[in-house]
Amino acid sequence: MSADQTLAFETDCHIFDGCGFSTVSPGLHSFVFKPLFEVGGFEFNKAMLLALLGSVAIVWFFWAAFAKPKVVPGKLQMVGEAGYDFIRRGVVYETLGKKEGEKYVPLVVALFFFIWIMNLWSVIPLAQFPVTSIIAFPAVLAAIVYILWVSLTFKRHGFVGAFKNFTGYDKSLGPVLPLAMTIEFFSNLLVRPFTHAVRLFANMFAGHLLIVMFTIATWYLLNGFGIAYAGVSFLMAVVMTAFELFIQAVQAYVFVLLTCTYIQGALAEHH
């Protein structure tokens, strides 16, 4: 098989697609999917489909839970209220306070559940892929937060106040003030949105790669080395899947917690 044929084989090969995956090591090709369809140069692939289905699922869940709220909630309403209240009180109110934070509750709740379900696709049969492991999705979400943070800073403090906010201006620093302001400026306006996106992306990317590796290794070892070796690999796949469930929720929580922290920084008075 030529190098070009090998690359094409690896790019097209995914778990359970019948292409002999047990001999293919996991890598970047595990995150590349052939388009489901193409319209006018626009390619719609599996990751986009999962993102769309996740959005529909979230809208349907909250609509079903709160379309006809009852004083004595049913099971669906109870679950919806618990999730909503957890983010509202445990994240937004704790960071921004009730008065300032109430208007941002819908955004933060939507971000949390959207990210969570995008992560959850990793362990759902047939889907088996975390959408946030593709950098474009976390980057767009981080960009939304970034634009909100910058606009709020200018709106609350004006141009001069926003500049001081972005640069951490503090005249008590004396001679090191220019250096400190330069570092703060690049850290806030360039590094912050990058790390906000990459933190989510990198965790989901690494987690999915580990699960794929141990799953493939299970079948490979079963065919070549015996059930004992394959059993250890299968156990690790199960452990990593359970751990990934925890990480998926944690990363959604961390993303919205940082979002609230950035908003709090934009609203705080600069001294």
- Is residue 2's pLDDT more than 50? no
Contacts of 150 (CB under 8 A, 6+ apart): 162, 189, 266
Predicted confidence at residue 229, as pLDDT, reads 78
- Is residue 265's pLDDT more than 70? yes
Predicted confidence at residue 15, as pLDDT, reads 43
What gap in Å lies between CA 134 and CA 204, rounded to an integer?
A: 9
25 phi-psi bin (left φ>0, alpha ψ -120 to 50, beta other): beta
* Per-residue confidence band for 1, with pLDDT thresholds at 50, 70 and 90: very low
- Is residue 12's pLDDT more than 60? no
- Is residue 9's pLDDT more than 70? no
Q: Which residue has the higher pLDDT, 220 or 225?
A: 220
Task: Round the average pLDDT of the chain to a whole number and report it.
Answer: 86
List Cα–Cα distances, 269 to 52, 160, 161, in angstroms. Answer: 39, 13, 9
Q: Which residue has the higher pLDDT, 23 or 52?
A: 52
Q: What confidence tens digit (pLDDT) does each residue in 107-133 have?
A: 999 999 999 999 999 999 888 899 999
Predicted confidence at residue 137, as pLDDT, reads 95
Instruction: Look at 84-98, 211-225, 241-255 and tell me which has the smallest mean pLDDT.
Output: 211-225
* Per-residue confidence band for 10, with pLDDT thresholds at 50, 70 and 90: very low
Q: Where are the domains of the chain?
A: 47-267
- Is residue 140's pLDDT more than 60? yes
- Is residue 66's pLDDT more than 50? yes
* Helices of type H across the chain: 3-12, 46-66, 75-87, 94-96, 98-101, 105-120, 136-167, 177-186, 192-224, 227-267
DSSP 26: -
Predicted confidence at residue 231, as pLDDT, reads 86
